[in-house]
Amino acid sequence: MSCNYKEPCCAPYLNSSKTSPLNILATVTIWIQRSRQRKQLSRLDQHLLEDIGLTLEQAKQEVEKPFWR
């Protein structure tokens, strides 16, 4: 799936004043965190998902999202 540049994840790159190394680093850090969190979510069984208020289908949908969303 390609980015349409309207997603919040692309906002730092649309305005050249926001392409500072710190902004880019912050964006990459968020992407890494999302990836790790989704990997951890994928390892939870149904009982634990119920404890956090998610269904198996909701967890699957979240895990399948690309890291930039």
Asked if residue 41 is part of any domain, the answer here is yes
| pTM passes above 0.75 | no
Asked if residue 64 is part of any domain, the answer here is yes
Asked if residue 7 is part of any domain, the answer here is no
Asked if residue 15 is part of any domain, the answer here is no
* Backbone torsion region of residue 24, taken as left when φ is above 0, otherwise alpha when ψ lies between -120 and 50, otherwise beta: alpha
* Backbone torsion region of residue 20, taken as left when φ is above 0, otherwise alpha when ψ lies between -120 and 50, otherwise beta: beta
Domain that holds residue 64: 32-69
Asked if residue 58 is part of any domain, the answer here is yes
30-64 tens-digit pLDDT? 999 999 999 999 999 999 999 999 999 999 999 99
Q: How far is CA 4 from the centre of its chain?
A: 16
Domain tally for the chain? Answer: 1
Asked if residue 61 is part of any domain, the answer here is yes
